[in-house]
Amino acid sequence: MIATMKLNIKRSAGLAGIVSALAFAPSISRGQTNFPAAEADAQYGLFHLLDHRSSYGKGIFPEPFLVDDSDLELNEVRLDWIHTAVHSATGDEATAELEKGFGPVTLEGEIHYERDVEGGAVTDGIGNIDLGARCPFYQYVSGSENIDLTLGAAVEVGIPVHSSVSKNAEFVPKVFGDLRLGDHVTIQAITGYSMLFGPGEDGGAHSWEYGIDLGYSIQHDQLYQRHFRNHGNAVRELAQHYFIE
């Protein structure tokens, strides 16, 4: 069983969205050869691989609960709590997060508190202090703007505080893809390779992590027509963690 609670204070731009699985849109971009001048003018960034028409960072994609965030965040303070239970073993993790955007780059910092109970034994303490950064390196927007893909890279560094739950440093390089299809469907996917350094049985452990968010959003004006006050979305999330011997 997994229960999550989130307090999120954020400036965003409007719709809701979803997150997901990347890949195949770059081949579509090669199939289009007649770009209007307006599309060419929208290109910017290194080698003109980014696109001002992209939905990235405009509040289209929803906030994930379990999967790492990959959207651009200008100013965000967030508090998460996750509770897990398997038979008699329970775990709780509270995370405070601060994110700040500079152009297309998002910098983030997190601090964790963990408490695990198994067989009557309690282990708790402050977890690693995590520092991270992410930035898109390629964006494709179709002429009709119904296909909108952002690919990017991220990195996370975990600094141990030498508590009972924080003994190992962690380094995680990542890649991500944010995809919008039409006005409602969004997909966000992120994958990374975690490397732990330090003492104990966890020192030297490597693992592959990935997560996918799928969502369907309803725009503000459509919700107002149905007498709702806020925008809404339906979200499905998948998060996996594989250890590599």
pLDDT tens digits, 192-226: 999 999 998 889 999 999 999 998 877 666 655 44
Contacts of 224 (CB under 8 A, 6+ apart): none
Other beta carbons within 10 Å of 215: 24
Report the range of poorest mean pLDDT among 56-65, 130-139, 183-192, 203-212. Answer: 56-65
In this prediction, residue 39 carries a pLDDT of: 66
Report the range of poorest mean pLDDT among 37-46, 93-102, 182-191. Answer: 37-46
Tokens 């968010």 belong to residue? 213
In this prediction, residue 83 carries a pLDDT of: 93
- Looking at the predicted structure, is the pLDDT value of residue 26 above 60? no
- Looking at the predicted structure, is the pLDDT value of residue 89 above 60? yes
H/E stretch holding 197: strand 185-197
Alpha carbons 123 and 153: distance in angstroms, whole number: 34
Alpha carbons 15 and 121: distance in angstroms, whole number: 45
Q: Is 145 in a helix, a strand, or coil? A: coil
CA distances from 207 to 38, 145, 165, 172 (A): 44, 37, 18, 10
Q: Are 176 and 154 in contact (CB under 8 A)?
A: yes
